[in-house]
Chains A and B, each alone.
Chain A
């Protein structure tokens, strides 16, 4: 019961918080305290996890006739996601310190927090789906209200696109229920299913949209561009990870036989995304769109890691997921900051930012170097581990990873040249760059993570390896 409140307390409280803090404007303190508490609870759950398998947290709403049991069960993979989510939420909270209409904004964030915890904690497919959809509502409003000029288009596109995908997911959940008689994902045996291939493909498309993989990615650049910078962080750091998480959880752990058969599809889309988005980013002159395409490109790398279906590849993929969250976030935050101050998205209007705000520029460069996979950052570890885990299986195909690496170096270094270095543009000369301290703090924390886990990745891999150790011992047939 108590764990149930981790999900429902934020969802319900968010409404009250909105009304209570409307006058006083201190929603951010409440939100930050709550996110910290969530982090504490996630770590707490991690401490109590058994060596392998699930930890049953609570079971609720038991209905005999219909498997609508809200079962909260977590394993290491989901706890990793919980910890990542709560850390990112804290940082998102910090980086939206001076946003307008705070009470609404932060209550939506709190609502989102509850819903996303539901996604990662519930093992009943119905409830999983409900929470999956619930995350969209705060996201929709966060983009639609606090976004930039074209926010309505972006929000609707985001909402519709992910919804259509969700329909496919829902359809396959019903198929699963019809064929196996249960919604509980820990009980589903792929052998019982009569049309596992259909289910696999439906889920695959559904999750590819979320992840996003080519050609289902077009909602993302628009959503990112229009979303306020902290929400971009949330999109890239949490929402995309939902897709990857669900892919590992359902496509690989629940339907291992089909995964073996169709893993080429994940690989193919991963490879295409990596290159395609890399080229898109290379041609892009819109700063935030460039970062968004770079984000897609890195999710392609995650897909390649996952598609190996091996112990190594899954660990590497999850590491890259976390690395991507920490690396891409400061890029989004700084891109948003520069737009906020200069009023332009175009790189040609910027230039010489380093001369005005050296430390923020340095963090941008650091995160960019992380994205292009420089040793000493998380990006390198992710790229290296994915290369090493996949090279045995895919061989020559991994030329794409190398090309992607070259492309990311090209567009990022060229972006540094256009935005950070060089002579100051007219706009930059007259702009007053002043960043609130809390936002700067969040950037500092992001960069500490990038370097810390880049130099000492074992800290993360210790946790990640355990998450898949059961998978490893069973030889991929869990």
Chain B
């Protein structure tokens, strides 16, 4: 096994502990330590990428119990490499950005060590050969996400957000755990490459394969914030923005898509892709419509993350691995850019996240506004930016596939077009128009060029560059010739839509805000707004189910059974015994506690004697 990979896997965890200890001794050193480690990780990935000729595969054993041996192999192919580049590259940029963003934080050691732990989990996930290793990385990331969301644990709402993040994703995880068991029992292997081959050759029972792929997809739903397990993703915005950028925008939420992509042949053979596409198209629609009306800029981004991850799922579901994965990568970059851009705004605006208090920041945050603008263009799917090409390919593949042609493709197109609207609205509300909060506006200063604007610039450049190299990227990931899918005339159509939507947004949000207010005051518009704003009340429904059904009905009645039946029976026995001792108790003046033990012993001896007599 070669050295760079060993370092790549172990360094983040060792580094996480080291960073914590060093950071506790001297506060500033936590950043330096984490920064160096993240750069080492990124350089190692680049090194592996450059020297990459064929898939690296190592078989290792973790443990064996009884007759069962559980492997823990490493497998790095093109797909993993791209994910590794994303995880370590964006991780390094994120830590770079954190220098200023987390500068006022007291507990830096804890923050940086958790971020490194998270990167380690992601590396483990994407370089695992078996589902077991993948599950370990999966759960590590879940833990890191939980700990980082509730990073400001002294406040109630981040702590609550952490709870919901953990439990929503855990609900998915148990399905992954179950599928791990089913797969291991039916095939005797957890090797995902082998599973793909086995199912392609039809050696796995098709029903089992179907159930397993649905189970894995449920886990992916939880992790990637799809319908109906998405509310945690919106809550997760309570965490530091750098965390939202890295974990809830760019890397961890991708892992659900990664696992479907990794087992793509398995899904094809199990004929479960259409389920993926169907659920994802619904999520894409929900996410895109809800993003339209959010007041907090991070929530807009969170809903758009949900919607864009759905697009990647739809790409996979429509049968195009390349479309789904390229979109995933494009999205990771422009979403990280947008989140960090939002972070820059939040930092400059003294932690104001409400869109209605910002506005007109263009002149004050010129660099940030340009870079975020590029991110918005990419997200909206404007040609020459990377987002356009992958969305184009996804829409084309849904139209071409007879199974997804129809409702799914329609929802996809709507979601893709709506992204222009909400991204445009976000950018407009932050950067143009009149400042809505004068006092705040005056106090805003441009952030540091090196620590804040540089990472944004890097990502903005990347999102432009990736637009040029879309084909190469797709070919690299799938390791085969890529036939570009295009929708005829989408280019001109998109341009037209952008023009129209751009004018509408400009008109309603900048020119005639009074007209907008009048329209939104209509009762019908108001109730639609409420539904969208609350994410179709899905969180409320799930919480109601958990609270009223699970806790207050099932758990409460079991509690009643315990008190009034199971324990009462035993207490009854005790009472009877106690009564029979009452007589003896009167003969002794000492306390029961001192005497009952001895009495028990005596009783036992009598019974024992009787028993011995009767049996011998």
A405 contacts B611, C-beta separation under 8 Å: no
CB of B66 within 8 A of CB of A310, answer yes
Number of interface residues of B (CB under 8 A): 65
CB of A465 within 8 A of CB of B139, answer: no
Of the candidates A141, A282, A399, A406, the one whose C-beta lies within 8 Å of that of B597 is: A141
A127 sits at the interface (CB 8 A): no
CB distance from B143 to the nearest CB of A (A): 6
Does B54 have its Cβ within 8 Å of any Cβ on chain A?
A: no
A178 and B170 in contact, given A144-B593, A170-B611, A422-B159 (Cβ under 8 angstroms): no
Interface residue from B62, B65, B136, B550 paired with A282 (Cβ < 8 Å): B550
Q: Shortest distance in angstroms between B575's beta carbon and chain A's nearest beta carbon?
A: 11
Q: Which of chain B's residues has its CB closest to A412's CB?
A: B166
What residues on B are CB-neighbors of A18 within 8 Å? none
Chain A residues in 8 Å Cβ range of B556: 283
Q: Give complex CA distance A283, B547 in Å.
A: 11
Q: Is the CB of B185 within 8 A of A406?
A: no
**Contact across chains for A279 and B558 when beta carbons are under 8 A apart:** yes
What are 5 A-to-B residue pairs whose CB atoms are below 8 Å?
A: A214-B566, A311-B67, A405-B174, A409-B166, A410-B550
Within 8 A of A (CB), among B536-573: 546, 550-551, 554-556, 558-559, 562, 566-567, 570, 573
> Lowest 9 CB-CB distances: which A-B pairs, in order?
A312-B66, A421-B159, A283-B555, A311-B66, A375-B136, A421-B153, A174-B615, A315-B65, A279-B558
Q: A163-B604, A461-B64 are in contact. Are A406 and B153 (CB under 8 A)?
A: no
Q: Which of A263-291 contact B (CB under 8 A)?
A: 276, 279-280, 282-284
Asked whether, in the complex, the Cβ of A468 is within 8 Å of the Cβ of B167, the reply is: no
Chain B residues, Cβ within 8 Å of A218: 562, 566-567, 570
- CB neighbours of B574 from chain A (8 A): 156-157, 160
In the assembled complex, B2 has its CB within 8 A of some CB on chain A: no
Chain B residues with Cβ below 8 Å from A171 are: 611
In the complex formed, the residue of B with least CB distance to A316 is: B65
Q: A159-B600, A170-B611, A311-B66 are in contact. Are A375 and B139 (CB under 8 A)?
A: yes
CA distance A182 to B155 in the complex (A): 66
Inter-chain contact A410/B167, CB cutoff 8 Å: yes
A116-145: which have CB < 8 Å to B?
133, 137, 140-141, 144
Taken residue by residue from 204 to 232, chain A's Cβ proximity to chain B (1 for < 8 Å, 0 otherwise) reads as 00000000001100110000000000000
Q: How far is the CA of A177 from the CA of B615 in the complex (A)?
A: 9
A413 with B163: CB separation less than 8 A: yes
Answer whether residue A41 sits at the interface, using C-beta atoms and an 8 A cutoff.
no
Query: Looking at A283, A372, A381, A458, which has the most chain B CB atoms within 10 Å of its CB?
Result: A283
The answer to the question of B592 belonging to the interface, with a C-beta cut-off of 8 Å to chain A, is yes
Q: Mark A281-311, 1 if CB is under 8 A from B, else 0.
A: 0111000000000000000000000000011
Stretch at the interface among A49-57, A249-257, A382-390: A382-390
Chain B residues with CB under 8 Å of A424's CB are 154
CA distance A424 to B156 in the complex (A): 10
B135 located at the interface, meaning its Cβ lies under 8 Å from any Cβ of chain A in the complex: yes
- From B66, B159, B185, B592, residue with most partner A Cβ within 10 Å: B66
Q: Are B597 and A159 in contact (CB under 8 A)?
A: yes
Question: With A152-B593, A279-B555, A283-B558 given, is the CB distance from A219 to B570 under 8 Å?
Answer: yes
Picked from A133, A387, A461, the residue with its CB within 8 Å of the CB of B177 is A387
Chain A residues positioned under 8 Å from B159 (CB to CB): 417, 421-422
Contact across chains for A279 and B596 when beta carbons are under 8 A apart: no
Q: What A residues does B558 contact at CB under 8 A?
A: 276, 279-280, 283
Residue of A nearest to B615 (CB): A174
In residues 431-461 of chain A, which contact B (Cβ within 8 Å)?
456-458, 461
Besides A369-B143, A402-B178, A465-B64, 11 more A-B contacts (Cβ < 8 Å) are A140-B597, A171-B611, A174-B611, A218-B566, A384-B177, A385-B68, A389-B66, A421-B150, A422-B156, A422-B159, A468-B66
Q: In the complex, A111→B17 CA distance in Å?
A: 41
Residues of A within 8 A of B154 (CB): 352, 354-355, 421-424
For the complex, is B341 an interface residue (Cβ under 8 Å from A)?
A: no
Is A423 touching B155 in the complex (CB atoms < 8 A)? yes
How long is the Cα–Cα vector from A389 to B155 in the complex, in angstroms? 43
- Interface residue? A196 (CB, 8 A): no
CB neighbours of B150 from chain A (8 A): 421
CB atoms of A283 and B559 under 8 A apart = yes
Q: Which residue of A lies closest to B184 (CB)?
A: A388
The interface bits of chain B over 593-608 (1 if a CB of A lies within 8 angstroms of the residue's CB, else 0) are: 1001100110010011
Which among B136, B562, B593, B612 has the greatest number of chain A C-beta atoms within 10 A?
B562
CB distance from B60 to the nearest CB of A (A): 12
B583 at the binding interface (Cβ < 8 Å): no
Contacts of B593 in A (CB 8 A): 144, 152, 155
B139–A215 touching, CB < 8 Å: no
Task: Report if B201 contacts A (CB, 8 A).
Answer: no
Q: Which of A133, A413, A421, A423 contacts B604 (CB 8 A)?
A: A133
- Beta-carbon contacts under 8 Å, A144-197 to B: 144, 152, 155-157, 159-161, 163-164, 166-167, 170-171, 174-175, 177-178
Compute how far the CA of A214 lies from the CA of B597 in the bound complex, rounded to whole angstroms.
26
Q: Are A391 and B181 in contact (CB under 8 A)?
A: yes
**Docked-complex contact B597 and A137, CB < 8 angstroms:** yes
Report Cα–Cα, A48/B70, bound state, in Å.
30
B68 engages A312 (CB within 8 Å): yes
Residues of A contacting B62 in the complex (Cβ-Cβ under 8 angstroms):
457-458
Is the CB–CB distance between B551 and A160 below 8 Å? no
In Å, the complex CA distance between A315 and B65 comes to 6
Q: Smallest CB-CB separation from B577: which chain A residue?
A: A160
Is A464 positioned at the interface, with any CB of B under 8 Å from its CB? Answer: yes
B278 CB → nearest A CB, Å:
25
- The digit string for A406-427, where 1 denotes a CB below 8 A from any CB of B, is 1001100110110011111000
B227 CB to nearest chain A CB (Å): 20
Cβ contact within 8 Å between B66 and A472? yes
Scoring B residues 455 to 493 as 1 if CB is less than 8 Å from chain A, else 0, what string do you get?
000000000000000000000000000000000000000
**Chain A residues with Cβ under 8 A from B140's Cβ?**
375-376
The answer to whether B153 touches A354, judged by C-beta atoms less than 8 angstroms apart, is yes
| A332 lies within 8 A of chain B by Cβ | no
Q: Does A45 sit within 8 A of B, measured CB to CB?
A: no
What's the least CB distance linking B274 to chain A, in Å? 26
Q: Is A313 among interface residues, defined by CB-CB distance under 8 A? A: yes
Min CB distance, B366 to chain A, in Å? 40
Q: Does B162 contact A (CB under 8 A)?
A: yes
A280 touches B63 (CB 8 A): no
| CB–CB B181/A398 < 8 A | yes
Contact with A along B193-211 (1 / 0, CB 8 A): 0000000000000000000
- What 1/0 mask marks residues of chain B from 127 to 165 whose CB sits below 8 Å from any chain A CB? 000001001100110010010001001111001101100
Residues of B within 8 A of A410 (CB): 167, 546, 550
Q: Are B604 and A405 in contact (CB under 8 A)?
A: no
**A465–B177 CB distance below 8 A:** no
Task: Answer yes or no: B6 CB below 8 A from chain A CBs.
Answer: no
| Inter-subunit contact B551/A417 (CB<8 Å) | no
The residue that B63 contacts in the complex, of A416, A458, A472, with Cβ under 8 A, is A458
A319 and B178 form a contact (CB under 8 A): no
- The distance in angstroms between the C-alpha atoms of A157 and B61, with both chains bound, is 48
Q: How far is the CA of A423 from the CA of B596 in the complex (A)?
A: 46
**Do residues A283 and B551 form an inter-chain contact, with CB atoms below 8 A?**
yes
Q: Is the CB of B153 within 8 A of A385?
A: no
A374 at the interface (CB under 8 A from B): yes
In the docked arrangement, what's the CA distance between A102 and B528, Å?
69
A403 to B143, CA, bound (A): 19
CB distance from A364 to the nearest CB of B (A): 13
CA A369 to CA B173, docked complex, whole Å: 14
Q: Which residue of A lies closest to B546 (CB)?
A: A410
Q: B139 to A374, Cβ gap below 8 A?
A: yes
Q: How far is the CA of A392 from the CA of B546 in the complex (A)?
A: 31
For B577, the chain A residues whose CB sits under 8 A away are 160
Distance of A413 from chain B, by nearest CB (Å): 5
In contact, B608 and A170 (Cβ under 8 angstroms): yes
B182 at the interface (CB under 8 A from A): yes
A160-B577, A282-B551 given as contacts; is B156 within 8 A of A316 (CB)?
Answer: no
Q: Does B171 contact A (CB under 8 A)?
A: yes
